[in-house]
Amino acid sequence: MPVDHAVIIGAGIAGLTAALSLSRRGISSEIFEQADELTEVGAGLQLSPNASRILAGLGILDTLSKIWLEPESIRLISGSSLRQLAVVPAGKFARQRWGAPYGVLHRTTLQKALLAAVEAEPLCRLHLGMRMEAGPPPSERLADVVIGADGVWSKLRQSIAGGPSPRFSGNIAYRFTIAEDEAPGFLDRTSVSAFLGGSAHLVSYPLKETGSFNMVAITDGNIAPQAWQSEPTAEQRAQLRSRLAGWNAAIVSLLERQPKLTFWPLFETTSGAWQDGRAVLIGDAAHAMMPFAAQGAAMAIEDAYELAACLSDRPVAEALAHFERHRAPRIAKLRQRGAFNRFAYHARGPIRIGRDLVLGLKPPQSLAADLDWIYGYRAMRP
């Protein structure tokens, strides 16, 4: 076998999926995580069929499907009038069209399911409380490959010649949750809803396992420090209010009365090499992108699974080069889609009017067809 043992830096979604994917191909791994314990972090996430199909192959999906919600649809709604502009069917339709489900869940739910599977796998070993510096950590066995799954602030990336670097995207996420029994009536209990308005949009969906709604408002904003989870200052709250000028009063009121908003500057990475020698980056470490296509977690899962496939039947250097060549075009195309969605979601004036007219003319089947290349993607097998 070209690869016998791997070191993985980071025990998030990318790292745990990589360890599990490697184990399914007989490759052992050690995962190094700087946190002393894997605690609840982040908020809700959407898992589209391209990702859930992989999780099914790894034996994770049955656990998730008992906990998560499969939304009936993905709705685009005017942030000013609350009028539905367009709808993409999900639920049973997603399973039939794309061959796998579309689910919404808390990030912790996915991480716990992956962690349980990793801990039950003899080929995987998890090391917690390991502070990372540039370069691979000391492992129990000689590693054939080192995988950087340590996020947008990756330490391993410093050892990749010509690698990407993080930069502030110009976007801010304001995150919060609402108990379902306290949620206003305009929040749909069965769907993912995206409310669109000038300079901002608001995404909402129910989290079945917590009995709450996951809410995130994304706006353009000023340069922010390297802090991704903090209480917004009075100035930052005022900035959010200014971005909601012209929005429906019920939405503005909902945001203004939230005592616990999380101010989350969104960072992305520049383009650059993902691999060098026997080291490789996956997920946000390689290509952190904006959430305008809701594919961040899905791309981490795809990366991990396809990297394992490449490593299972090629020498390391060849496998890593092949992995980057194979994955880079898809990531680039998704970045373009995200940039287009941002332009469309935050449109103002005549562009907004034109957007609403175009969306109103598109039937659900046509909108679904536009997503076939994302949701219908089938990760390669060895």
Query: For residue range 110-160, what is the model confidence (pLDDT) as tens digits?
Result: 999 999 999 999 999 999 988 777 566 778 888 999 999 999 999 999 889
Average confidence score pLDDT of the chain = 91
In sequence order, what are the beta bridge partners of 145?
Answer: 6
Query: For residue range 240-289, what is the model confidence (pLDDT) as tens digits?
Result: 899 999 999 999 999 988 888 888 899 999 999 999 989 999 999 999 99
Helices 249-256 + 234-243 axis angle, to 10: 170
Q: What pLDDT is stored for residue 279 in this prediction?
A: 95
Domain map (residue ranges) of the chain: 5-71+103-166+268-343
For 12, phi and psi rounded to 5 degrees? -90, -160
Q: Per-residue confidence at 191, pLDDT binned at 50, 70, 90?
A: very high
Q: Two tokens at 264? A: 């989350």
Whole-angstrom distance, CA of residue 276 vs CA of residue 264: 31
Q: Per-residue confidence at 238, pLDDT binned at 50, 70, 90?
A: confident
Residue 225 has pLDDT above 80, yes or no: no
Whole-prediction pTM value? 0.95
Superfamily of domain 5-71+103-166+268-343: FAD/NAD(P)-binding domain (3.50.50.60)
Percent of the chain with pLDDT over 70: 95
* 129: CB partners within 8 A, 6+ apart: 33, 34, 35, 36
Q: What pLDDT is stored for residue 382 in this prediction?
A: 45
Whole-angstrom distance, CA of residue 66 vs CA of residue 69: 9
Higher pLDDT, 158 or 48: 48
